[in-house]
Structure 1
């Protein structure tokens, strides 16, 4: 039985269980850890049923027996209780807006409290001195972060290329040349392919910067780790607010790079703005930089 199939069988959304089976299912969902570590007799005692009743219950929900049931239950529990017992989400537009904006504000505040400013300074200096910059992302949000780094730095006169293709990342890492600096983004820091890319860079003595969780394999493999450690809530329906922290870190790096050589950055920013005013905007009242 698949992990989530077992959960749905226990949740009994179709109301197929009755009597003792429904009682056993509720006891299991109320205390998954107890059910995983209990004997058949202990579970039967808590439900006030006989051990054979527990065995029949396990088989009716699709398991081979009590041992198989506990195995499937343990696998289900790996996902985390927030997926087994989701937080009741807010529903109105006002509540959702408050929730999303509030979590974004909290993410930015927590990032500000934990930033390694010395690491940011070193990373910005390396980026400004680089002849070429590679930006790799790992996963959906980090792929967006690597593209945003490209978006921020090319307008400052930096030569940069972003990639989110794992095979391409490995090939680029193997072919890297002196003068390159690489920035990687990984919210978990667990991507083995990204670690391999960083190891290849290190062999070529190419400086590497990682935006990721502290103490992770990606952080350990990078020359300049920029730690971003934010807790996740229980609402599985809300997009992660951690990405706001990653975007803020990118903006801080880009701003430091711009200030490191203001004259050069100004030249490229002016060229870009002049073209946008000429071909699209008609004046200089639109947003800066885009």
Structure 2
């Protein structure tokens, strides 16, 4: 079997072997990790001069960290710096608010933005498509998409919708192959650029299923969708703050659920009454308890 070629995470590689390096190689590592931008742009003699070592030491260092030569080392350095500069050099989050204050502020802003982004007519169209479909399947992946896609099932089963959620991409592909023009596939994705999920969406569309997405409007997934709800939240630069975009996605899901409930009032009311009745019988009666928990 042909081996899979993956890009080298040069920063992790250097850190992993740093304690095993010779003195001259350790000096090179110190310079590179201290200024990744410089190291990626510098010539071999400039790098050697700053580290106080010979050019031969730079070549030996490159091979020591898994590169064929200095050119490959520099390519890996440029790639690592471009992808994760703020994660390597750190980011100073100047906010003096408390942790709960920062998180709450992010949620408020995300929900405010998505309120302006979301087209009410498209929400209604999505709800109508789900209301009349034979079954609804939901695909999600990654951090935000996995959590949010699961919430679709929690919100819609109580409205009498035959809904199933799938996170394993192989299973998604299998399920997509069983769909037809009577079905709806809903994709929840923060970026809309997960290759496996996008491919599975196209499999479902190939067999006639209506493709609905909640994702960025400029994404590959959005362009292929029959119905698309735009969600794009500019996340703050702080690398430790949880992403607020998932709250925006949840707000859109709730809007679909509310619209759908109003489209099928009688069914929704009776099913929710049954759930409330049996939950209260189990946990005690309080009309303010949620229909869930």
TM-score interval w.r.t. the shorter chain?
Answer: 0.7 to 0.9
> Cα–Cα, structure 1 residues 87 and 58, in superposed 2: closer, same or farther, change >3 Å?
farther
Query: CA separation in 2, counterparts of 1:232 and 1:6?
Result: 29
- Specify the SS of the correspondent of 1:56: helix
Query: CA separation in 1, counterparts of 2:59 and 2:83?
Result: 21
* Equivalent residue runs for 1:49-198 within 5 Å: 53=54, 56=57, 59=60, 62-63=64-65, 66-88=70-92, 95-198=98-201
Query: CA separation in 2, counterparts of 1:112 and 1:88?
Result: 30
Q: 1:129 Cα deviation (Å)? A: 1.8
Query: CA separation in 2, counterparts of 1:279 and 1:156?
Result: 21
- Specify the SS of the correspondent of 1:79: helix
Q: 1:141 Cα deviation (Å)? A: 2.3
Superposition RMSD in Å:
3.4
Structure 2 contact 214–249 (Cα < 8 Å) conserved? yes
Structure 1 contact 55–66 (Cα < 8 Å) conserved? no
Normalised TM-score (structure 2) = 0.81
Query: CA separation in 2, counterparts of 1:188 and 1:275?
Result: 39
Which residue, 209, 213, 230 being the options, matches 2:216?
213
> Cα–Cα, structure 1 residues 29 and 229, in superposed 2: closer, same or farther, change >3 Å?
farther
Which residue, 225, 229, 234 being the options, matches 1:231?
234
* Equivalent residue runs for 1:3-82 within 5 Å: 3-5=10-12, 8=15, 21=27, 25=31, 29-30=34-35, 32=37, 34-41=38-45, 47=50, 53=54, 56=57, 59=60, 62-63=64-65, 66-82=70-86
Query: CA separation in 2, counterparts of 1:166 and 1:5?
Result: 28
Structure 1 contact 188–213 (Cα < 8 Å) conserved? yes
Query: CA separation in 1, counterparts of 2:29 and 2:188?
Result: 47
> Cα–Cα, structure 1 residues 2 and 145, in superposed 2: closer, same or farther, change >3 Å?
closer
Query: CA separation in 2, counterparts of 1:133 and 1:215?
Result: 25
Structure 1 contact 36–70 (Cα < 8 Å) conserved? yes
Task: Count the aligned residue pairs.
Answer: 283
> Cα–Cα, structure 1 residues 54 and 124, in superposed 2: closer, same or farther, change >3 Å?
farther
* Equivalent residue runs for 1:266-277 within 5 Å: 266-277=269-280
Q: 1:41 Cα deviation (Å)? A: 4.7
Q: 1:154 Cα deviation (Å)? A: 0.8
Query: CA separation in 2, counterparts of 1:6 and 1:232?
Result: 29
Structure 1 contact 86–235 (Cα < 8 Å) conserved? no
Q: 1:249 Cα deviation (Å)? A: 1.1
Deviation by residue 1:6-39 (Cα, 9 ceiling, x = unmatched): 5648xx89xx989x9489727x74461x442333
Query: CA separation in 2, counterparts of 1:60 and 1:255?
Result: 60
Deviation by residue 1:43-97 (Cα, 9 ceiling, x = unmatched): 567x4x77x64653574584566434312312322432121122245899x7211
